[in-house]
Structure 1
């Protein structure tokens, strides 16, 4: 009988072989009974020739077999070491303190298990404004002081030329244990450095599922598409007047809780928020421009709540938006609506006279450096607590729409704010805007469905010295704001604007806007600065150089 190679290998691995002496014997098997016989017979088949093996002393395996065994042992040792190394690497990679750094679209840190992440974000916007035409019919801020010579009639009411840091923000955002995320951001151009006025976003959010989340802290009100869009991705340098006046300049970053449900093509977002206390608050009553309009303003240009009795103001907001038609990511229709109910707190002194609180609506006409409040309602609460004007609640409504068709886009919004309280009968302020854009280099605006707003533009080819032009966009629009009605005299204005935007790459933007005031009507505004701009003829050239990550 012959031995197989496997049998030989096993015998060799055991380090032994056998020597044997035997005699040959032929064996037969009965095909029916399966019995074995030593002699042939009817119905028997030869099985083969077999040898008897005697016990014998162990002998050393042949040299060739020993060499083969040594090679097998060495190979097994190498495989064992490789498996051990892979196990160590796997254990190292799953340690929570093992961190990776990613420099793609910003600076990001993450543990290898994905439980903890952090990213540094920031933006820098350097703006300039040149008033190429200013024809002011009144031309003076104040009447002549008592006893002054007739030729000294006060300070000219003109917009200044110049440059400024419009925004300079630095923040951090990330996740921990995957389902919870956070964001903290500070703007060094906001506030007076002595309080929390520079804080924009500061919240923590838990994501119950991919579409549904709840957050708490300071964050933007869910109201208006243009407000939901980061100022990094706006088409024009400044937001349109109605958004700036009725939403943004009330300090859209308020403290509270918010819920968001965002599917692939629609979202609903709600929040219950309140203003801050004291110096932090520029929430209700800010002219948004750092221009004081009365003793009720703090250093940030906002209503100062410090020292007054009662609760702070609060509000409830809801925004619903989606894309009812979506052929592709570059061909779709966006529609949305927003609503707010805002309760205003008014504080009075012990003698019943107005102390602080209330609400102010004020804004310029699109200027980005000298942001003088040309439109200005003044504080809507004044006088005595029993006879004076008192704004108690605000009700806001907004409608929005946008169309994207390849490199072309169009967008428009209407916002209305109704005021209820003593002295206000059907008091309503409203405004709207509309504009179109076109990418000369073929790109399309980038839509972010999670927030139903615009996102970062990524040029088809970045600017370089080898023929790359970056992305080029042209835009034109109309902007209207009316702060008159039902006992409110804040003025009315409309403008035409044109813009040219260049994106050398996805993180750098160069912008240029031309703005022409069609109509400024401020004859009935109490504020003397606003009066000076009644029927003014204004033309401005504005620029911005922006870096963000």
Structure 2
């Protein structure tokens, strides 16, 4: 039997750093170990255990340093270490991590409650109507309320190497997947597989939690791709962003009679100039999609209809205007986006141009035009200003915007952050596979945002739009909408 004091001595030698002594002390340390072995206090096996324990401890320290330094300076949420707080449980943002920081787990969610009222031009219902479908029997709704988003998700990092996320969206009494993926983390990027956004556009890439207005600009809302199952690599470096991915074509739904298409998506952006008070952003996106095919159609093999749709700017009433009729017979199509943004102190500008080119095949759907291809496009320009001195949180490493950090907190002697904003957007979808079913819109928005703290936003949007559709022209439509938003 080994002496009783051996485990205690082993711990002392490790914690005291005797085996990791500096060079000038190596000879005395070696002599001490020899005496302990000679007197039977230590055995050769004990010495071997000591060496292995020392190696394990050194490796754990190295892993912790690697976890903290890998993405230094980047606010990359899944890898952020916990902050030291006095609370025994971090209830506001629930996070758990292992002692060395290599394993992390958190829960998050968001809730957005919207309401809206409207005053429509008398011609809007006629201009937006369809002979084969009347949504409102001649009367458009003038008020509404909705749970715009109610999401709950879990995210984390496993062994400082793998990132994961599973997020579901409870909307319209249905449950849908939002982000659901697994990603491998390298020193300068991540390779993800699962269901997530195809990389495209500054406004599309920015989370709905961080938008300046209640909804994305009309052309972005209409022409951007949605989430799909795919494989994507994206960089994690300080001053630029690159992403490339391959995606399927049916989201998370499954239809055995449909052969899904595929998409190749590319996006890149960089910050030409940045300092503590100024940011600039330039970027571009390209997305090619081969359309899905429906083999159950009674007329034979046909391409799935393509939906490129946007509403009046507030989902609480759900008036479908741009892309009201799906485009038929689309064999493949390409999307493009050019992005730019600039900010100095509390003032910022942002704008994008988007375009979609669609190739038509009369044998693959209801194509009634002589054109072999059609083009849709649009653009927007917006400006914002923080009355209380804050600034937009531009993130060059991901080419998007993060959370606004109020200079003061309401209820703790402060007013929170107050922001005013204005936007003009134009979308032209007049070309269509069935002539006469196109439409276009000029959309103006004024916004007032209040951030009482970092996790809440209250938004008020006034919107005005002119519209042209298959039934004529409608000028002078007004919408007033509001949102209460909370995240954890």
TM norm structure 1: 0.68
1:270: Cα distance to partner? 0.8
Q: 1: CA distance between counterparts of 2:298 and 2:401?
A: 51
1:353: Cα distance to partner? 4.4
Are 2:463 and 1:481 equivalent residues in the alignment?
Answer: no
Q: 2: CA distance between counterparts of 1:313 and 1:522?
A: 30
Question: Aligned pair count?
Answer: 405
1:181 corresponds to: 163
Are 2:232 and 1:231 equivalent residues in the alignment?
Answer: no
1:428: Cα distance to partner? 0.3
2:114 corresponds to: 127
Q: 2: CA distance between counterparts of 1:490 and 1:378?
A: 8
Are 2:445 and 1:500 equivalent residues in the alignment?
Answer: no
| 1:309-347 alpha-carbon deviations (Å, 9 max, x no partner) | 5x2011000001010122x14302100000011000222
Structure number with bigger Rg? 1
Q: 2: CA distance between counterparts of 1:509 and 1:535?
A: 33
Are 2:301 and 1:314 equivalent residues in the alignment?
Answer: no
Q: 2: CA distance between counterparts of 1:477 and 1:455?
A: 20
1:156 corresponds to: 138
Query: Does the Cα contact within 8 Å between 1:136 and 1:537 map onto a contact in 2?
Result: no
Query: Does the Cα contact within 8 Å between 2:327 and 2:433 map onto a contact in 1?
Result: no
SS at match of 1:475: strand
* Structure 1 segment 335-414 matched on structure 2, within 5 A: 335-349=282-296, 352-353=299-300, 357-376=304-323, 378-381=325-328, 390-414=329-353
1:351: Cα distance to partner? 5.2
Query: Does the Cα contact within 8 Å between 2:218 and 2:443 map onto a contact in 1?
Result: no
Structure 2 gap ranges (5+): 1-7, 17-53, 64-80, 83-87, 362-366
Q: 1: CA distance between counterparts of 2:178 and 2:289?
A: 20
More displaced stretch, 121-130 vs 104-113: 104-113
1:206 corresponds to: 184
SS at match of 1:499: strand
1:539: Cα distance to partner? 0.5
SS at match of 2:320: coil
| 1:264-294 alpha-carbon deviations (Å, 9 max, x no partner) | 11111011011237xx44xxxxxxxxxxxxx
**Pair 510,486 (structure 1): closer, same or farther in 2 beyond 3 Å:** closer
Query: Does the Cα contact within 8 Å between 2:240 and 2:398 map onto a contact in 1?
Result: no
* Structure 1 segment 45-64 matched on structure 2, within 5 A: none
Q: 2: CA distance between counterparts of 1:458 and 1:478?
A: 26
1:334 corresponds to: 281
**Pair 354,121 (structure 1): closer, same or farther in 2 beyond 3 Å:** same
Q: 2: CA distance between counterparts of 1:353 and 1:276?
A: 20
**Pair 143,186 (structure 1): closer, same or farther in 2 beyond 3 Å:** closer
Structure with more helix by fraction? 2
SS at match of 1:232: helix
Q: 1: CA distance between counterparts of 2:101 and 2:377?
A: 47
TM norm structure 2: 0.76
Structure 1 gap ranges (5+): 1-78, 146-152, 282-304, 382-389, 524-530
Query: Does the Cα contact within 8 Å between 1:482 and 1:491 map onto a contact in 2?
Result: yes
1:371: Cα distance to partner? 1.6
**Pair 408,351 (structure 1): closer, same or farther in 2 beyond 3 Å:** closer
1:84: Cα distance to partner? 9.4
